[in-house]
Amino acid sequence: MSASSSNGLLLTSMSGRHDNMEAGGSSAKPEDVHPSDHHEQLEHDPDDPFDLDNTKNASADSLRRWRQASLVLNASRRFRYTLDLNKEEHYENRRRMIRAHAQVIRAALLFKLAGEQQNGFGSASSTPAISPGNFDIDLEKLVSMTRNQNMSSLQQHGGVKGVAEKLKSNLEQGIEEDEKEVTDRKIAFGSNTYPKKKGKNFFMFLWEAWQDLTLIILIVAAVTSLALGIKTEGLKEGWLDGGSIAFAVLLVIIVTAVSDYRQSLQFQNLNDEKRNIQLEVMRGGRTVKISIYDVVVGDVIPLRIGDQVPADGVLISGHSLAIDESSMTGESKIVNKDQKSPFLMSGCKVADGVGSMLVTGVGINTEWGLLMASISEDTGEETPLQVRLNGLATFIGIVGLTVAVVVLVALLVRYFTGTTQDSNGSTQFVKGKTSISDIVDDCVKIFTIAVTIVVVAVPEGLPLAVTLTLAYSMRKMMADKALVRRLSACETMGSATTICSDKTGTLTLNQMTVVETYAGGSKMDVADNPSGLHHKLVALISEGVAQNTTGNVFHPKDGGEVEISGSPTEKAILSWAYKLGMKFDTIRSESAIIHAFPFNSEKKRGGVAVLRGDSEVFIHWKGAAEIVLACCTQYMDSNGTLQPIDSQKEFFRLAIDAMAKNSLRCVAIACRTQELSQVPKEQEDLDKWTLPEDELTLLAIVGIKDPCRPGVREAVRICTSAGVKVRMVTGDNLQTAKAIALECGILSSDTEAVEPTIIEGKVFRELSEKEREQVAKKITVMGRSSPNDKLLLVQALRKNGDVVAVTGDGTNDAPALHEADIGLSMGISGTEVAKESSDIIILDDNFASVVKVVRWGRSVYANIQKFIQFQLTVNVAALIINVVAAMSSGDVPLKAVQLLWVNLIMDTLGALALATEPPTDHLMHRTPVGRREPLITNIMWRNLLVQSLYQVAVLLVLNFAGLGILGLSGDSNHAHAVEVKNTMIFNAFVMCQIFNEFNARKPDEMNVFSGVSKNPLFVAIVGITFVLQILIVTFLGEFAHTVALSWQLWLASIAIGLVSWPLAVVGKLIPVPKTPMSVYFKKPFRKYRASRNA
């Protein structure tokens, strides 16, 4: 315990900057400071259990270690939002059990759901009916066939085609796009939902809140005091002391439970949002986007790399389709799916290839649904701030316990030596005369005071203040188009020193159109006008585009406008080919794809082998223009004649460069013929066949315009001024990347665009590890990069001490998203695999939203520091006042009930007021917060000490000379005069906290009121606290040990509190050293530890 107690408070930065946050200012410009520069670096301390700078991939041992080192009075509350270390083992056991006993578990669930429905609980949609309705196959046969992966049963039903007919579904068109059709299927086969484990109700939170050891002791003390009081003074007077403490404790428990319950509801809503995946299905021949919960049996679903299989089903068709079934089987083995192995399990991921499936089982009729229904999702997770605040709480708790013991001993010694007097001036304990009952009563009061000091001193709510801030930030970030998947990402984003951003869709709008075309050996006057092209060339382009695509062209039956779906690039090319005269459905029906090589971000191209009739095989390729061009040996001219490409190759290269410089994405379309005899006959051989990619004929090169997002230039400027370097990492041509980077402001001028500032992925990957680390610092734009290049860049930057945020949307981006300190996936264009590997999902794919996340990250850290400064000021002042008073007079001016009220102001209301401060522009004028930045900066120490010393000085003067100062020394009723003085001390103390709450808002700014009108919750809480204080002092006299004060004393109390404002301004003029105080505090502990280990 002692080893940990020194360090929770005193963490310093190894790779960060100092005094640069809302709670600490720096004169250094962000661009002048590099994360590795530090005036006094402290290495990671392996002996400090709270020294965890990154919890993203922390080991279970290190997470267990800090829990064991914490001083905790209420473990169920303190560790509620931390990771359940036994969860993974439980999850694994449940998965094994479900695979072995799926039928039994499902039957039990159905029985339970039926019972709930019978009693009026639950939703009808989650309970599948046994009746098959209007369908020719019943639920049990479908479930049994899919779960047992029974091929003979599938054949008996006539294969996938037969099953589709029995389910009244069309393998190409899907089910009808009709609400009644969908409802009928839900009634017959169930919905794609599962019964969720119920969350904790409010009474559970009440139960947890009262399990605080100090509160239990106070309840026992209150009951004892109540019994003794009633016995000695009668019911009318005797219940007040014990009853007031019991009521105050009850109030603390209720307010704590309400606060915690509200937080849990917020997390629950966010988890529901995370699970609600949007996906594409075929309905009535049209591709429509629906929620995963709306998938029904009979739906036809296209599958692409990175998708999650949304339900159980059977493969209709696929090319190179590989499924990662590790989420269900527990084995990280990729399984290839074809007609011999056509069954697909819900919850698995598409690792490679393309295909389409027929849904045969949904909800709890799938193993995934059973698994989800039988485990409660663990929303807990460590965040670095939580760990560090536990260390801080432990340190303060030890100090508080020590002080409480000292006060207890001092009061007992004074009492039993006869030096303690009551309010009338009489000696409380006279040996041989004072009754046992009075002695016990007095000792209980002394003990209650000591325990109350512990309640105030041990900030049990401090680690939970992080959760409160994060819950608030997560809710607000949703409005800013960012869905947080990992809590720690919120705060880590405040430390980000570099953002590696994708180009397409993040910096650009992802609204693509073909604006330039080279076909027939020359540039076309109008990009989509076929008049100058030979019909043979147009036919080959049309076939290549129609077959080599994952998109779709839908002609509405009512003759409305054509609907084109697919990725933005696919849509642009399909739209262009349609205008050239492509007949999409006709081409797809006249020729068949016999093998496909889906687009690959490593090879930057994709291809298909198409069989025309019975004898002719054409291989169509489409991809990065310069890569496809390098594979071409001829091109087709405007007369439909094949010409050698050698003489024209330079012309095409210059055309690609010219388009790239105009920030166009260049895509080439090429083809070749293949002898049917050279195509494998057997399906197994065909699956392993590599499509020929040499001796291609160039058909066309298109330039696709994707305009920059509005506001992205300003967002990049904000990042740069905040000390966050923006790097562009794209798979596009280096010239295209450079043009967009100049447009976005990532590159300031053409002169800057030289290697290694702009670099190709291939060049970077061929460097040695040491060279990569050196070059990584200088890279601003990386073009033609593969996902592995992105991963190498992230690793090199992190080794240099950078805190790296990475955006990604593809499946292959998953390793980089996982490796980065903060992985940001794209909500619109991102695959499910990318989203699952990320920490935050950017819902609108917009770079400006990434910048908002940085603001929120900094705000989380700043708000926690504001709360720490506020809470420590209260702690220090309350402890010193009570200790000095107890030592000198044997009594304390701040009674148990009063301290519990102060604890409520400090712990719950203060946290709520300061944790919900919205982010300001001021935050983005600073450098990033270092990973191991001290939680309490020198500026915070200064503010804290100035306010604490003022409060202690004023209140101790009132305590010892208050009767004279307040003109009460001549009062004939001495006991009443003492009560007025003590009430004045209590009132002035609370006023100091109310006014100091404003100071805590702006630790390093002179104007503490700026932006206060934008936070109505803060104003409301301060107002409520003030009104409650008036009620407590004026109307709860005997209950709260107060007496009504005159208006003059109220004005005096307010004036004492008001002084804290000008005092804060004067205090901010005091200069602070750059070296953190923690460096000086930690040195003795390190020296002592080193000498002990020597």
502 in catalytic set: yes
Using CA atoms, how far residue 588 sits from 576, 610, 658, in Å, is: 17, 10, 34
Using CA atoms, how far residue 825 sits from 41, 557, 727, in Å, is: 34, 37, 16
Q: Can you point out the beta strands (E) in 444-590?
A: 482-484, 498-501, 513-519, 522-523, 552-554, 563-565
Q: How far apart are CA 353 and CA 593, in angstroms?
A: 14
DSSP 66-111: HHHHS--S-HHHHTTTS--TTHHHHHHHHHHHHHHHHHHHHHHHHH
Other residues' Cβ atoms within 10 Å of the Cβ of residue 774: 13
122: left (phi over 0), alpha (psi -120 to 50) or beta: left
Angle, to 10 degrees, between the axis of helix 974-1001 and the axis of helix 896-904?
Answer: 10
Q: Encoding tokens for residue 965? A: 């100062």
Name the residue type at position 249.
V
Q: Among the options 502, 821, 907, 1004, which is catalytic?
A: 502
Q: Encoding tokens for residue 243? A: 């009853």
> Exposed, middle or buried, 1027 (CB in 10 Å: 0-12/13-18/19+)?
exposed
Q: Encoding tokens for residue 32? A: 């002048």
Residue with tokens 């560090």: 388
Which residues fall within 8 angstroms of residue 895, CB to CB, at 6 or more apart? 449, 982, 986, 1040, 1041
Q: What share of the chain is helix, strand, coil (3-state, %, to 5)?
A: 55, 15, 30
> CA 559, 563, 569 angle in degrees (round to 5)?
155
Using CA atoms, how far residue 629 sits from 493, 658, 1052, in Å, is: 42, 15, 85
Q: How far apart are CA 915 and CA 911, in angstroms?
A: 5
Query: What is the number of alpha carbons within 13 Å of residue 66 lying toward its C-beta?
Result: 34
| Closest to 69 (Cα-Cα) out of 119, 129, 5, 19 | 5
Angle, to 10 degrees, between the axis of helix 462-479 and the axis of helix 213-275?
Answer: 20
Helix or strand run (H / E) with residue 61: helix 60-69
Report the catalytic residues.
502
